[in-house]
Amino acid sequence: MQIQPDDIVFVLNPNSGNAIHPRQLTAICRAATEQAGRRANIITSRSPADAAQTALAAHEAGAAAIFGCGGDGTLSSILQGLPARSPTALGAVPLGTANVWAYETNLPMTPLAAVAAQLAALNGSPGEAMWIDSGRVWSTEADGSVGSQRFLLMASWGLDAAAVSGIAASDRRSRIKRMLGEPAYFFSAVQEAVGRKAWSIAYSLDGGPTQTVDVGLMTVGNTRMLGTWLEVNPRATVVDGELDLLMFRGAPWRALALSPFARHGWLPHGPGVSNLRFRRLEITPLGDPPPMQIDGEIGPTSAYAIDVEPQALRVLCPNPAAPVLGG
């Protein structure tokens, strides 16, 4: 079905963690959209590239909104196709393993309620379509050219990214993820922390002096949560024009040992732990590059900078009073 102006586009990820049948999901999306007096256009995505292409087509056609039906990775794939400042609003039907964006913005967790609430926000009653910040990761491609990738939630180097890579590379860990869901990442992190040394990097913030440090984990957050159970950037909002950096110096096991503090929204400020804010981060590995993840997916080890994109993304927010939204 060709995308028309003011359509509500749904991108279905058939590989999402939720087992809801695509036909049932399609019926739910159509029912909620028709009830709101709008036209649904439902497209099944077979790859992240498919999702990005659909998002670009939705933008070019003047679609009112595009919903990612899946997890945070589906939203991230759509984000790659939406140009910055696109008026096409992003919505979420939370069907993934963690659904961090839905969790942080207090979206309903059932598909019908989620779609209905966000379509009401599109009309401004209740909620609103808000302009929020996004992040952009810059990296060097294999041919020497410069590439970039946008993110909604968080990018990280070190232990967290190693845990993500470990699940992707291991059939056993992937099976555990399917059985346990989000806790599988913690078990993967434990395995990755054993015997690992810190990664040496040089970094600078907002054009300031370059500093050298050995880190076990660095997170760059547009939002607050690493998964739905570790609040690593408790001051972050998506409307402040900045990104939040949490840095654990020393071996990865130190970050793992301090994770219970993040479970309760508090991390120590002192030797070995830094919480900083910035608009641009530049980073250079001084040895083997640390693994990287972006919105829960494996990122490029050749990444060299992260910028904030202020007010670059329009999102559907039924609950704009959520703390991460600046409420």
Residue 251 resides in a domain: yes
In terms of C-beta density within 10 A (0-12 exposed, 13-18 middle, 19 or more buried), how is residue 230 classed? buried
Same domain as 158, residue 91: no
Per-chain mean pLDDT for the chain: 91
The rounded distance, in Å, linking the Cα atoms of 267 and 84 is: 33
Same domain as 243, residue 148: yes
Render pLDDT for 70-79 as a digit per residue (tens, 0 to 9). Answer: 999 999 999 9
Residue 303 resides in a domain: yes
Same domain as 109, residue 211: no
Same domain as 110, residue 160: no
Residue 321 resides in a domain: no
Residue 98 has pLDDT above 90, yes or no: no
Give the HSE-up count for residue 219: Cα atoms under 13 Å, Cβ half-sphere. 27
Supply the DSSP string of 155-224, one letter for each residue.
EEEEHHHHHHHHHHH-HHHHHHHHHHSTHHHHHHHHHHHTTPPPEEEEEEETT---EEEEEEEEEEESSS
Could you tell me the two tokens for 277? Answer: 């804010």
Say which residue, 70 or 230, is predicted with more confidence: 70
pLDDT value of residue 269: 63
Q: Count the domains in the chain.
A: 2
Residue partners of 201: CB distance under 8 A and separation at least 6: 157, 212, 213, 214, 215, 218, 283, 284, 285, 286, 290
Q: How confident is the model at residue 45 (pLDDT cuts 50, 70, 90)?
A: very high
Q: How confident is the model at residue 120 (pLDDT cuts 50, 70, 90)?
A: very high
Residue 323 resides in a domain: no
Could you tell me the two tokens for 147? Answer: 């590439």
Give the mean model confidence (pLDDT) for residues 102-129: 95
Angle at CA of residue 316, ends 313 and 321, nearest 5°: 100
Match 């399917």 to its residue by tokens: 178
Residue 244's domain spans which residues? 135-311
309: left (phi over 0), alpha (psi -120 to 50) or beta: beta
Task: Decide if 149 contacts 80 (C-beta within 8 A).
Answer: yes
Same domain as 171, residue 99: no
The rounded distance, in Å, linking the Cα atoms of 325 and 327 is: 6
The rounded distance, in Å, linking the Cα atoms of 190 and 131 is: 38
Q: Which of 71, 102, 126 is the last residue of a domain?
A: 126
Q: Which of 76, 98, 126 is the last residue of a domain?
A: 126
pLDDT value of residue 202: 98
Residue 295 has pLDDT above 80, yes or no: yes
Residue 283 has pLDDT above 80, yes or no: yes
pLDDT value of residue 258: 74
Q: Which CATH number do you get for residue 189?
A: 2.60.200.40
Residue 1 has pLDDT above 70, yes or no: no
Give the mean model confidence (pLDDT) for residues 261-273: 67
Q: Of all residues in the chain, what percent carry a pLDDT higher than 70?
A: 94
List of E strands, 230-295:
230-231, 243-249, 273-278, 280-285, 292-294
The rounded distance, in Å, linking the Cα atoms of 103 and 99 is: 6
- How much is the CA Rg of the chain, to the nearest whole Å? 19
Lowest mean pLDDT among 60-64, 207-211, 222-226: 222-226
pTM, entire model = 0.92
Residue 325 resides in a domain: no
Task: Decide if 225 contacts 104 (C-beta within 8 A).
Answer: yes
Q: How confident is the model at residue 222 (pLDDT cuts 50, 70, 90)?
A: very high
Other Cβ atoms closer than 10 A to 177: 20
Start-to-end CA distance of the chain, whole Å, equals 38
Same domain as 85, residue 153: no
Residue 251 has pLDDT above 80, yes or no: yes
Q: Closest Cα to residue 186, out of 170, 166, 169?
A: 166
Residue 2 resides in a domain: no
